[in-house]
Chain A
Amino acid sequence: GAGVSQTPSNKVTEKGKYVELRCDPISGHTALYWYRQSLGQGPEFLIYFQGTGAADDSGLPNDRFFAVRPEGSVSTLKIQRTERGDSAVYLCASSLTGGTTYNEQFFGPGTRLTVL
């Protein structure tokens, strides 16, 4: 079946602009994760959804970052007033469930965001 998809694959924007990054998880997966991978670093956790609700948003760096998952499937990561330091690859992952039972996270190819 189809894996996790992310759109766009590349996004170039100007400092101060607003951007939205989309993630389509594997069908039937109730848990969805966002990570950010800066150049030369490993992925860094941002937020985790279980169903429609954010179960853990402790990784969001500041209030310019926000994510939604209104119907428990597709998720959108929103970044307001982008800064050059937001340039990174944004990764999305989904798993069958989250929480206390281990389920493998399947990663999408990422969206490369460049803020000029």
Chain B
Amino acid sequence: AQSVTQLDSQVPVFEEAPVELRCNYSSSVSVYLFWYVQYPNQGLQLLLKYLSGSTLVKGINGFEAEFNKSQTSFHLRKPSVHISDTAEYFCAVAPSGYSTLTFGKGTMLLVSP
């Protein structure tokens, strides 16, 4: 079985500041890793994914994440956030070669001017 821990339930930042949203996972098998974003009153949207290969993955809207196998982490980063990045962010994991996702509890990113 897999599990995902998002260490922060809420992260407040000022506009144009950098941000890191933390994600740690647990799995006895190799995994795929994902970050999804959920804007208010909208469905989940895939931000980025790690399947294999380079451990630094880039996604939409200037976000990136780094897979660290030794620390079982997949933290999400953005060098300069915008007001429009205010949303809930979910880290998710799936066993490699398998489809169903296990999600963390989410981190609410609050960007203020």
Contacts and interface: CB of A to CB of B under 8 A. Distances in A.
Interface of A: 3-4, 31, 33, 35, 40-45, 48, 56, 59, 91, 93, 95, 98-100, 102-105, 107-110
Interface residues of B, number: 24
A54 B102 CA distance: 18
Interface of B: 4, 6, 32, 36, 41-46, 49, 51, 90, 92, 97-106
A108 B41 CA distance: 11
A42 B43 contact: no
Given A42-B4, A42-B106, A102-B51, A91 B44 contact: yes
Contacts, number: 59
Contacts of B92: 42
A48 B44 contact: no
7 contacts: A42-B104, A45-B101, A45-B102, A95-B99, A105-B99, A109-B43, A110-B43
Given A44-B103, A109-B41, 8 more contacts: A33-B99, A40-B105, A42-B4, A48-B99, A91-B44, A107-B44, A108-B43, A110-B43
A42 B103 contact: yes
A104 to B, nearest CB: 6
Nearest to A93: B44
Contacts of A95: 99
